[in-house]
């Protein structure tokens, strides 16, 4: 029983932790470039998705459709952000190619029975795998072009690191989620709590990165 209470508390902390970077990004909107202003919309859809999912869960309804739509919007926002953060036209074209494939995949599932209303449709895994690669590529370019002292003060270094940590922590859970949901409730809570902890860490690092943005 204590573990159930702890899990539910962690769940609410995870949901409401996104308000911290959202409020901070709105407060500092004038200092954000065009790419990071999209971060505000991304955080807004995260809040909307999490609260909607919570309502559905309390009504004992699945949130798979909501999660699929959220994944598409999340991918759109992150692709836009990375597209504007990279200077290399080759990488920009890779991002555009990936996003095109992702949208085609989403449309394909729309025409499949249960396609976007089931969690194991592969969209989350495909998205996580790509942004792990693109995030690591961005780190490579930062280390190549910037000394470590300046790196600590680079706002997008922290935002990019948050994205890498989030997807690296969750890609295995995304891949095996259709099996995990069949586990007994205590094991499911334990594994899903890893997702909740990574989400809290993600939001904390996002907030720190947003605080590091300097006024133009």
Asked whether the predicted pLDDT for residue 1 surpasses 60, the reply is no
Asked whether the predicted pLDDT for residue 80 surpasses 90, the reply is yes
Listed by start position, the domains of the chain span 2-211
Residue 128 has what pLDDT? Answer: 92
Q: What pLDDT digit, counting tens, does each position of 23-68 carry?
A: 999 999 888 888 889 999 999 999 998 888 888 777 777 777 788 8
Please answer whether residues 32 and 213 qualify as being in contact, where contact means their C-beta atoms are separated by less than 8 angstroms. yes
Q: What pLDDT digit, counting tens, does each position of 189-208 carry?
A: 777 788 889 999 999 999 99
Among the residue ranges 75-79, 88-92, 169-173, 209-213, the one predicted with the least confidence is 169-173
Q: What pLDDT digit, counting tens, does each position of 136-154 carry?
A: 999 988 887 766 667 778 8
Angle between helices 34-58 and 2-17 (to 10 degrees): 150
> What does the pLDDT average to over 101-116?
77
Confidence label for 79 from pLDDT (cuts 50, 70 and 90): very high
More confident residue, 177 or 172: 172
Using only C-alpha atoms, what is the Rg of the chain?
18
pTM equals 0.89
Residue with tokens 């989350």: 124
Hey, what long-range contacts does 26-34 have (CB within 8 A, 24 or more apart)? 28/210, 28/211, 28/213, 30/215, 31/213, 31/214, 31/215, 31/216, 32/210, 32/213, 33/84, 33/216, 34/84
């Amino acid at each position: 029983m204590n573990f159930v209470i702890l899990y539910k508390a962690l769940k609410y902390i995870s949901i409401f932790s996104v308000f911290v970077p959202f409020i901070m990004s709105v407060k500092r909107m004038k200092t954000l470039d065009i790419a990071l202003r999209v971060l505000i919309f991304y955080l807004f859809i995260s809040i909307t998705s999490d609260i909607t999912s919570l309502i559905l869960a309390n009504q004992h309804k699945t949130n798979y459709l909501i999660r699929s739509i959220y994944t598409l919007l999340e991918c759109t926002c992150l692709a836009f952000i990375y597209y504007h953060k990279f200077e290399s036209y080759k990488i920009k074209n890779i991002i555009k190619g990936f996003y095109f494939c992702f949208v085609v995949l989403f449309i394909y599932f729309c025409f499949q029975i249960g396609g976007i209303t089931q969690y194991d449709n592969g969209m989350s895994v495909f998205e996580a795998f790509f942004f792990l690669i693109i995030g690591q590529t961005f780190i490579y370019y930062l280390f190549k072009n910037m000394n470590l002292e300046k790196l600590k003060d680079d706002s997008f270094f922290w935002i990019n690191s948050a994205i890498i940590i989030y997807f690296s922590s969750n890609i295995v859970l995304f891949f095996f989620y259709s099996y995990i949901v069949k586990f007994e409730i205590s094991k499911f809570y334990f594994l899903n709590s890893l997702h909740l902890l990574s989400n809290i860490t993600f939001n904390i690092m996002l907030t720190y990165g947003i605080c590091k943005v300097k006024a133009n």
